[in-house]
Amino acid sequence: MIHAAKVQAAGGVRTLGFDASSPLQLSSGETLAPLAVAFESYGALNAERTNAVLVCHGLTTDQFVAGPNPVTGRPAWWPRIVGPGRPIDTNRFYVVCANVLGGAMGTTGPSSSAPDGQPYGLRFPAITLADTVRVQSMLMEALGVESLFLVVGPGFGGMQALQWSSAYPKRVFASIAIAASARQSTQNLALNELGRQAIMADPDWRNGAYLAIGARPTRGLAVARTAAHILGAPASELREKFEAARSSERFAMSAAAEVRASGASFVDRFDANSFLYLTRAMDGFDLAGDFGGALANAFTGGQTRHCVISFNNDQRHPPEESRAIARALLAAGAETASIEIDSPHGHDAHLMEEPAFEAALTGFIDSAASARGLSL
């Protein structure tokens, strides 16, 4: 039985609190309580409670998927996909997006206050992607949603969607994993480690205790952001940058310039310790490893309908990773659609204007909704 406090709102961030009577059981064996989960919701839950959609966000985004972030002022990160008349239509569906465990926008994480009133910092317990999904499960149950019509997410969010359909197969009717993988590539592991090392090498990191003294390791976090941008950008864009830098005798990937280009607010809005914890959780995700090395075993016996979407110029999660997921799903007997989209935008194509991508989402969602008995 989950005991949740009432929804609270402060500074534009809505949170649902879980007290010590409902501690989060972590994969490490530790428990975490109290626990706050920050979330946004759009649309309305139908009488049958069958139209709920959970959107799982990427590594550095947040719960404000379809509306502006009241804290940072940043616009919604997925307005082309979530909203009235969009592929995830808030006139039809009850859409929930929660800030991930360990995140930097209201859900309990390293920057949250520990029981002693000081920020957790590195005292925050190690977390896994399975822990993240367990928190989302607690939230949905507290919101009165026992069965999800759809779980969907890009990148890190796509990994969560896969974990959901594996851990809770009877609670997920349909799943869409976008530009994701069931295990991090060596390249991703290396660049994430580079980002973490950059943060920890910043003198202002102070062994993770920077918030207690009013400092922030912004330089290290800027380098970590640059490393992430390198993975997300298409090869053609990187080539152009390096060629332009060579001809002008400048550096192609200045960390300060990259942060300015992506919005200087990143180093202010995102907690550096959250970056450490979330990338470690992502790097530790190995769905096949949890099932004897056979990815198909992670989905055996499930009834979830799956859609796996990739982009041809994605360097972070190239199409072959999505194809491997699709093969495993088919081997497990799952109803599966596998779609590769031609796009010049690399990993971030899911954020761009991509008619083929939006059409693929709409087609799969409409088909699944019809099978679920939800009217168009």
For the chain, where do the domains classified as CATH 3.40.50.1820 start and end? 4-185+288-372
Predicted local distance difference test score (pLDDT) of residue 251: 58
* pLDDT tens readout for residues 68-84: 999 989 999 999 999 99
Rounded mean pLDDT, 209-233: 90
Contact 28, 126 (CB under 8 A): yes
Q: Where in the chain is the domain with CATH 1.10.1740.110?
A: 186-283
Mean pLDDT on 151-180: 98
For 205-215, write each residue's pLDDT tens digit: 999 999 999 99
What is the structure's pLDDT at 262?
46
- What CA–CA distance (Å, rounded) separates 52 from 144? 10
Q: What percent of the chain has pLDDT over 90?
A: 82
Cis before 34? omega within 30:
yes
Q: Is the pLDDT of residue 342 over 90?
A: yes
Q: Give the pLDDT mean for 236-249.
A: 71
Report, as an integer, the average pLDDT of 248-268: 57
**What confidence tens digit (pLDDT) does each residue in 80-122 have?**
999 999 999 999 999 999 999 999 999 999 999 999 999 999 9
- The predicted-structure confidence for 269-311, as pLDDT tens digits, reads as follows 899 999 999 999 999 999 999 899 999 999 999 999 999 999 9
Please give the CATH number for the structural domain made up of 4-185+288-372.
Answer: 3.40.50.1820
Please tell me the predicted confidence (pLDDT) of residue 237: 76
48 has a pLDDT exceeding 70:
yes
Cα-Cα end-to-end distance for the chain:
35
Report pLDDT for 248.
67
Q: What are the beta bridge partners of residue 7? A: 16
Predicted TM-score (pTM) of the model is 0.94
Q: Which CATH number fits domain 186-283: 2.40.128.110, 1.10.1740.110, 1.25.40.10, 3.10.25.10?
A: 1.10.1740.110
